[in-house]
Amino acid sequence: MLESSLEFLRCVRCGTKLELNAFKLNKEIEEGILECKKCSLKFPIIEKIPILWSAFSEYLSSRKKLGGELYQLIQNQKLKKFLKSSLSKINPVDDRTALEIRWSTIYDNSRNSKFYSFVKDNVDTLPKSNLVLEHGCSIGIVTSSLADSNKMVFGIDRSFSALRTAKKSYKNNLDYFVADSLSSIFGKLQFDLILALNILELIEPLELLKHISKQISSGHFVISEPYDFDRGTNSVRKPLDEYTLRTTLKNFGFKITTKTKKPSYIPWTLKLNPRATLNYKVDLIIGKK
């Protein structure tokens, strides 16, 4: 975590500014704890990545294997004690560790997909921004590119494994956080540019769009979606198609740019393994407030 990021972060429960206790510091804070003095919530920083979850034990409940691995890797005894205490409180459910590692690898192997260059080319036409946020940034393919031409860029994702890959690339104006996209880790901070690429099947679309609308009062919103909502019991309750998504964005105050008013079909190829690929046709929309 960049020490400069501290000024932007807020407690996910009460919105209070967080205080930092850094245990291991190099170019970044490698180990430490962020604490809210008002409600006593603590958020660990492990391997340079802050985990800004309302209850750390809840996050580990579906990632017990990850928790055990992190415990072995942590050097600071105070942080080790915090992690051990959190692990003792978990109520284990289906472990997502292997799944998140697998998808991180898939995205890493697919980073040369033309979809990403198409998104980058479109974003490059927008005004340069002081504050940029990507929801569901995964391994940071687009996020890292954004840092080359904008002042300060943040990426958030639920997957610690994905952000491990993202953090391999250091830039002094780029930082990543494990967080739920619907939580307010930045308080009432307003962004100039926000991206949400292919994540509406993972988060209730209307809730996410409402949340993002509050994070941007003047600027651009870039969203893409293959509309693959069939997730069985994990499917979102209210999926959107290419037309209702545009209508919803307009209802939240976004004006759709002329070139993205009509649905698009951008190829997005994911290399699942040496013998299998997943081919999507993705719709891209750019909105402006």
- Looking at residue 244, its pLDDT comes to 97
- Looking at residue 233, its pLDDT comes to 81
Q: Is 207 helix (H, G, I), strand (E, B) or coil?
A: helix
Residue 192's H or E segment, with its range, is none
Can you tell me the distance from the alpha carbon of 29 to that of 32, in angstroms, rounded to the nearest whole number? Answer: 7
Q: Show the domains of the chain with their CATH numbers.
A: 3-95 (no CATH), 108-288 (3.40.50.150)
Displacement of CA 237 from its chain's centroid (Å): 21
Amino acid symbol at 39:
C
- Looking at residue 256, its pLDDT comes to 98
| Closest by CA position to 21, among listed 144, 201, 37 | 37
Please, what are the averages of pLDDT over each run of 10 residues along the chain (289 residues)? 97 96 96 96 98 96 96 96 96 94 97 96 96 98 97 98 96 98 97 98 96 97 96 89 98 97 97 96 98
To the nearest 10 degrees (0 to 180), the angle between helices 64-73 and 77-88 is 160
- Looking at residue 232, its pLDDT comes to 80
- Looking at residue 234, its pLDDT comes to 83
